[in-house]
């Protein structure tokens, strides 16, 4: 059986805004893996503030259905996530997303193309963000402990996805075939 037939069942965990989406897309860019995200599958759940696996029973059910090989836990300080999430502003009609820190609108609070006002999603307001992060922490603590006991938890800590990514990449290189020799650590 060739290495290419290897199936890696990985779960990426991290608080809302920790960079799961970015890391997932980089993984599929650099490795022969299909990105199957609970975020994509359960987008409607995500909008209701739920995710998968967020609770111990969910983690156990997932394990019964699929033997999970590795759990990549993105550990980003809450203060950093709070800044990251509350910096997001949206133009509702087009779905254009601005970030005050690294992709600001030309005029604060105004869409570049239409001149219409930007809004902040309820989810991105500071008080909501703090609540979501606390809820995430309380809910997933037993999940992380469960995976830790199983010996499949790998935690990557940092404040920026670009700084965490090389470590995730190096770890995955030991697990799965790369897409091509040209693939590199750069995003």
Residue 86: what pLDDT? 92
Q: Are 29 and 115 in contact (CB under 8 A)?
A: no
Strands 70-75 and 153-157, bridge-based pairing: parallel
User: In this predicted model, what pLDDT tens digit does every residue of 59-118 receive, in sequence order?
Assistant: 888 888 778 889 999 999 999 999 988 998 999 999 999 999 889 999 999 999 999 999
- Please report, for the chain, the start and end positions of each structural domain, with discontinuous segments joined by +: 10-174
Read off the pTM: 0.74
Phi/psi-derived region of residue 17, left when phi > 0, alpha when psi is between -120 and 50, beta in every other case: left
User: In the predicted model, what is the mean pLDDT of residues 30-48?
Assistant: 51
Give the DSSP H or E segment for 19.
none
Strand residues in the chain grouped as ranges (E): 10-14, 70-75, 88-91, 96-99, 153-157
pLDDT band at 162 (very low <50, low <70, confident <90, very high): very high
- Largest Cα separation within the chain, whole Å, is 58
Question: Residues with Cβ < 8 Å from 64, sequence gap 6 or more?
Answer: none
More confident residue, 10 or 35: 10
> Quick one: CATH architecture of 10-174?
3-Layer(aba) Sandwich (3.40)
Q: What is the pLDDT of residue 164?
A: 96
């Amino acid at each position: 059986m060739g290495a290419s037939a290897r199936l890696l069942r990985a779960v990426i965990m991290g608080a809302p805004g920790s960079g799961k989406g970015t890391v997932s897309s980089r993984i599929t860019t650099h490795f022969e893996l299909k990105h199957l995200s609970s975020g994509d599958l359960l987008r409607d759940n995500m909008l209701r503030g739920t995710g998968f696996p967020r609770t111990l029973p969910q983690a156990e059910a997932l394990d019964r259905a699929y033997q999970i090989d590795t759990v990549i836990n993105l550990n980003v300080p809450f203060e950093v996530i709070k800044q990251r999430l509350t910096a997001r502003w949206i133009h509702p009609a087009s779905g254009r997303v601005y970030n005050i820190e690294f992709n600001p609108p030309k005029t604060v609070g105004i869409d570049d193309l239409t001149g219409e006002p930007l809004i902040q999603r309820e989810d991105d307001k500071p008080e909501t963000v703090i609540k979501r992060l606390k809820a995430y922490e309380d809910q997933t603590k037993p999940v992380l402990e469960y995976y830790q006991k199983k010996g499949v938890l790998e935690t990557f800590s940092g404040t920026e996805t670009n700084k965490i990514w090389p470590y995730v990449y190096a770890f995955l290189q030991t697990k799965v075939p790369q897409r091509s020799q040209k693939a590199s650590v750069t995003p």
